[in-house]
Amino acid sequence: MNKLLFSFLSLMLLNAAYAQHTKTLFDSSWKFLKADVTGGEKEGLDDKNWRTVLLPHDWSIEDLPNQSDSVKGPFTSQSIGATATGYTVGGTAWYRKHFTLKNTDNKKITICFDGVYMNSDVWINGHYLGNHPYGYTAFYYDLTPWLKQNGEENIIAVRVRNEGRNSRWYSGSGIYRHVWLTTTNTTHIDEWGVYITTPEANTGMAGINIQTRLTTENEAASLQLRTNILDEKNKTVASATTAIAGKDEVAQTVKLAHPNLWSPETPYLYHAVTDILQGDKIIDHVVTNFGVRSINITADKGFLLNGKSIELRGGCVHHDNGILGSATIDRAEERRVELLKQFGYNAVRTSHNPPSQQFLDACDRLGIIVIDEAFDQWEREKNPQDYHLYFDTCWKKDIDAMVLRDRNHPSVVFWSIGNEINERADASGLAIAKQLRDEVKSIDDTRPVTEAICAFWDHPGYKWDTTAAAYALLDVGGYNYMLNEYEPDHTKYPQRVMMGTESFPLEAYTNWQQVEAHPYVIGDFVWTAMDYLGETGIGHTGLDSTPGFQLQTFPWFNSWCGDIDLIGGKKPQSYYRDIVWNRSRVTMLVHTPVPEGHKEAVSAWGWPDEVAAYTFPGDEGKSMQVNVYTKYPVVRLELNGKTVAEKTVSQQDLTASFNINYQPGILKAIALKDGKAVDSFILKTAGKPARIRLTADRTHINANANDLAYVTAEIVDANGNLVPNTEMPLHFSITGNGEIIAAGNANPSDAESFQDAEHKTFRGKCLIIIRPKGNAGKITLKAEGESLASGTVVIETKK
């Protein structure tokens, strides 16, 4: 766990215990049954034979019983969601948890669900608490009136219905985010009740406004609200104490000299410690993390963060964690953000729903700017059973849940009210957009509101100009795949600020040129930064097929359109993007052989089938294309020390293309400027597979269920070089205080179990995810494969 986060949590738990305010993780020992049950909410129901699960839990990623297809795993060609959900299965299931409480007389007990997909109904001791349709917003219930005290058993029952066709991507199913049980005094700070803004933020001084919403009893006249601002070393740097005087909301302002400003380069976090005091006694206590930063966005100056210009190197992501499905395990969420940062992103769009709290916490700590998006549809459907069925009655509580929960995150810079909404420019859609925007602004008016708008392919008679009324409602206009409209729209609407909320990978350089050339285009977000489950093969590359929007059928299960693959590997478009974003000076990719008589066809969201490798046994003498990407003017290509050719780099796409006849050895691209070599990139042919190399992302982890170790298994030759053409099964075994919770590879059409201890490699690699069992000690993972020397890795766990 991040040391800063650990110190925050330690402080919070220490003071919370003293303050009679506890927020307890409520994830363990839930009973689960994948079936609809008559009377599943009743206290007398016998659930002893139900499976015991640990939350977060996603049943759609688990192996299906009685599999009808020729694969083992979560996939079936009979899936109702089919290509959209990656051939996985939803349905109806029940969760039940038995628990007891002590010393909670005169306390308020609340249960909070961070996210349940979808359409959940909740009961406590047989009493119905409510229904929550949307699968991506947090919700909570007051349990107090129906709880049994003094050690008597209580039963929470949750029915989850992920039914019909309700999503355009893999959603997962179940209580896939955390559950919390909060105990407070009857006088307390409300859930999401602290709101911190920094209207003045510069290196000399910060003005910090704190608004705190309270629920108080009769003693309110004698109460005070104290807020201490602590830095990363837990030193108090500012403080305010205010009489509550019967108010249900208290406003405070403090000044902070020479603050550390939050930015992607320096993601500094403060935390506000808010206490309700009655004399010297702490009645309630809440800790809120926040950052000090300023936002200013205009068409003539672009996006200024803390007064400095910033261009958004953005990517869209869905919410799944690859081979873990949608389970929101803290370390999995953090690793996704680490990967984004590692591969050059400074911004992310949470497509097309609010993300987990843990994802935003990681963006705060690591420095990623966030577009926090609410909905994929409003009143008009995209699927028959999707959120449009509930929008009219639920939009307000879901918008409120998103903004109230997320408004203190410094990483959240934009609120998005929708994506490619069917009624986006109709009279009804404009009225809804205004309603959504106004509701967001009523809760938080410090951030710009955007919406991702695309061309009207579903209304051929419409013209792009019809979006003017929609954009007039927004602070920043989101453009999906409409880069050719930036300059004409600027001529017509010179005050409009724009950003590419979705773009094609193959247009990375063209899009980025617009960002660099025009301050009113503040960033570009590729679809997508990461491969995700569902929308099968939207980024596929094939032979002789028609490019465009064409999803691939079973056994394809993932999108294959990301810069980063399903297990965290770097895909070819990411190498190209490194050149576009000036992260590398020269790179080289080799196209896999195209069979004679055929031609390659690339999806609009895809990339040519080229790799950062030079190992093609059996293809000796065959013609291959080599692409060198660089901003230098000239490139020389050498094969085994001999010059193949020198070529001028096209400034339209930063590419120099060569044709070679494949022969093993060393391929070297040399960038030239004024006739002199200034940089190079080398690929070598690997030898035969010799052994398995295991590499853990971290060899020391915390002994709790929310930490994980990600272990990459690679097939290497005798010299330790990856053998990128190997696809072979490996068997994994584990000893010590851990368990394998997932194994998989990046192949988008390898529909296999993610829970089996044996898994094939793809392009020489696969991934194993290990979870500690809760005790400190050692975990040893061993990998074995036919005719290969085995590999081992040791991971230390600590309390």
pLDDT tens-digit series, residues 617-671: 999 999 999 999 999 999 999 999 999 999 999 999 999 999 999 999 999 999 9
Closest CA relative to residue 201, chosen from 446, 19, 400: 446
Query: Cα-Cα-Cα-Cα dihedral of 310, 313, 316, 317, to 10°?
Result: -100
Q: How many CB atoms lie within 10 A of CB 281?
A: 11
Closest CA relative to residue 706, chosen from 182, 335, 348: 335
Query: Can you read off the two tokens belonging to residue 115?
Result: 């996210």
Q: Is residue 10 over pLDDT 80? A: no
pLDDT tens-digit series, residues 22-56: 999 999 999 999 999 999 999 999 999 999 999 99
Residue 654 C-beta-side C-alpha neighbours within 13 Å = 25
Average pLDDT rounded to a whole number, residues 576-597: 96
The catalytic residues are: 420, 502
Instruction: Assign 474 a pLDDT band (cuts: 50, 70, 90).
Output: very high
Instruction: Assign 463 a pLDDT band (cuts: 50, 70, 90).
Output: low
pLDDT of residue 103: 84
Average pLDDT rounded to a whole number, residues 491-504: 97
What b/e string do you get for 81-96 counting C-beta neighbours within 10 Å, with b at 16 or more?
Answer: bbbbbbbbbbebbbbb
Q: Is residue 434 over pLDDT 90? A: yes
Contact 412, 455 (CB under 8 A): no
Instruction: Assign 735 a pLDDT band (cuts: 50, 70, 90).
Output: very high
Q: Is residue 6 over pLDDT 60? A: no
Closest CA relative to residue 715, chosen from 757, 756, 762: 762
Q: Is residue 158 over pLDDT 90? A: yes
pLDDT tens-digit series, residues 111-145: 999 999 999 999 999 999 999 999 999 999 999 99
pLDDT tens-digit series, residues 717-733: 999 999 999 999 999 99
